[in-house]
Amino acid sequence: MLTTAPRGTKDIMPSDVSAWRYLEETMRRICAQYGYKEIRTPVFEHTELFQRGIGDTTDVVEKEMYTFTDRGNRSITLRPENTASAVRAYVEHKLSKDDAAAKLYYMGPMFRYDRPQAGRLREFHQFGVEALGVTGPNVDAEIILLAVQVLQSLGLQDLKLKINSVGCPKCRPLHREKLQAFFKPHLEELCHDCQGRFERNPLRLLDCKNSHCHELGVGAPSLEECLCDECKAHFAGLKELLTAAGVDYEVDPNLVRGLDYYTKTAFEIQYAPMGAQSAVCGGGRYDGLVKEISGDEERPGIGFAMGMERVLLALEKQKLLPAFDEGIDVYVVCPKKESFTLAFKTTIELRRAGLKAEYDFNGRSMKAQMKQANKFQAKYVLIFGEDEAARGNVTVRNMADSQQQEIAVNDIIKFFQDK
């Protein structure tokens, strides 16, 4: 199927790019306000990075990664998310040598082999933010507030912020024991995936999308009742700061997120008008990820990822995208071959002067070129007519009111600069 994009991918056509740029510019502007710098990591990484970083019991690693062996017999994976890559870059380039937090953001394509759905294809785009090197709940609150501000700046107001604490290596063993004791009588009823998770990572039982497993999990022991004093204090600090910032939130004890590296804070932002696919942003703290990847360095971190297609879908549905000026400044009309060289030279000079200018490649009739000028939504048309050329002039037509005037060829650039 050479004329069809692979299933789960989509061309972003010129008519759609203005909306993407608007989204990207909004995200970049707010990241700059918060002091975050852009990082760009490779589209593919060594497979082990995601196996160790994300966790080999996650759906992403078990079912969704695009993995292949390259010509050097290395296992390579197209990135399914970018936190592990950002942390790898943080370690490789020794960003931890500075005592200040490393505050990074990125946007770009990710790849997961999953059933394509609205706002989530197999190639999809994420905007993400990571802050590494700070332990306190203040950076957790900052990250969450940044995400909320991005969405609100785009006009999405009906947002629901859900938060939870998923504990740390000190308090998770107790919760693990309680979860296993709770689910053990129902082990045979769990789906095949959850039966495997029961021993390897029972916390993931709470994140299963199978409806029956979800029903079996009702009333399961919550992490909150098992939190150690440190995690309790961290979570209380986060709630205090969010309240101080005037942000409403809901504590959801079943919010565990789908990746193994999360510790302490986990959060999700939902946009209710999106219905079943309401989650537009999710993230959390990952204090053990740097050590998992580097092997020796202890550095805390927290971040989030936001699905860009899903946000654009929300903006389109709610008619929140602004009107984009897709028009050009000048369309040069030249129906006579004898004048084409001068018309071409003028077009280039207009572009060098900073104007958006186009002309007809095919030398069609005056009528056809004027029709093309309308398609380009040109503000002005510059007509190199035979009579005007004899006088060393051209005709300028204002397309908004159809008013015309003749000006000297030598005055064209000055005329449009004055406009």
Positive or negative: CA dihedral 30, 36, 40, 41:
negative
Nearest to 334 by CA among 381, 392, 398, 390: 381
H/E run at residue 110: strand 102-111
pLDDT of residue 417: 87
Task: Provide the CB-side half-sphere exposure for 296 (13 A, CA).
Answer: 1
149 has pLDDT over 90: yes
Spatial separation of the C-alpha atoms in residues 111 and 45, rounded to whole Å = 12
60-94 pLDDT tens trace: 777 789 999 999 999 999 999 999 999 999 999 98
Give the pLDDT band (50/70/90) at residue 334. Answer: very high
102 has pLDDT over 90: yes
Spatial separation of the C-alpha atoms in residues 307 and 194, rounded to whole Å = 26
Domains by residue range for the chain, with CATH: 14-171+223-317 (3.30.930.10), 330-418 (3.40.50.800)
Are 102 and 285 in contact by the 8 Å Cβ rule? The answer is: no
Positive or negative: CA dihedral 136, 141, 144, 147:
negative
Spatial separation of the C-alpha atoms in residues 320 and 318, rounded to whole Å = 5
Give the pLDDT band (50/70/90) at residue 119. Answer: confident
**Mean pLDDT score of the chain:** 90
222-278 pLDDT tens trace: 877 889 999 999 999 999 999 999 999 999 887 876 566 788 999 999 998 887 678
397-409 pLDDT tens trace: 999 999 999 999 9
Higher pLDDT, 376 or 195: 376
**CA-atom Rg of the chain in angstroms:** 28
Give the pLDDT band (50/70/90) at residue 306. Answer: very high
Q: Which of 59-63, 164-168, 182-186 has the lowest mean pLDDT?
A: 59-63
16-20 mean pLDDT: 95
From residue 362, give the alpha-carbon distance in Å to each of 76, 333, 334: 47, 11, 10
157-165 mean pLDDT: 93
The string of DSSP codes covering 131-170 is: EES--SHHHHHHHHHHHHHHHHHTT---EEEEEEE---TT
> Looking at this protein, which amino acid is placed at residue 254?
N
157 has pLDDT over 90: no
pTM of the predicted protein model: 0.87
Are 134 and 300 in contact by the 8 Å Cβ rule? The answer is: yes
From residue 208, give the alpha-carbon distance in Å to each of 198, 236, 284, 360: 12, 27, 19, 58
Which residues 6+ apart lie within 8 Å of 7 measured at CB? 116, 122
97 has pLDDT over 80: no
How does strand 250-251 pair with strand 263-271?
unpaired
From residue 184, give the alpha-carbon distance in Å to each of 58, 199, 254, 258, 321: 21, 10, 19, 22, 50
297 has pLDDT over 80: no
358-371 pLDDT tens trace: 999 988 999 999 99
Give the pLDDT band (50/70/90) at residue 144. Answer: very high
Q: Percent of the chain scored above 90 by pLDDT? A: 62
Angle at 132 between CA 129 and CA 138, to 5 degrees: 85
First to last CA, the chain: 50
pLDDT of residue 392: 85
Give the pLDDT band (50/70/90) at residue 140. Answer: very high
pLDDT of residue 118: 74
pLDDT of residue 312: 95
| Strand blocks (E) in 47-85 | 66-69, 75-78
338-362 mean pLDDT: 93
DSSP 223: S
Are 330 and 394 in contact by the 8 Å Cβ rule? The answer is: no
205 has pLDDT over 80: no
pLDDT of residue 181: 86
The separation between CA 385 and the C-alpha centre of its own chain, rounded to angstroms, equals: 49
Q: Which of 133-142, 170-179, 241-250, 361-370 has the lowest mean pLDDT?
A: 170-179
- Could you give the angle at which helices 229-244 and 137-153 cross, rounded to 10 degrees? 40
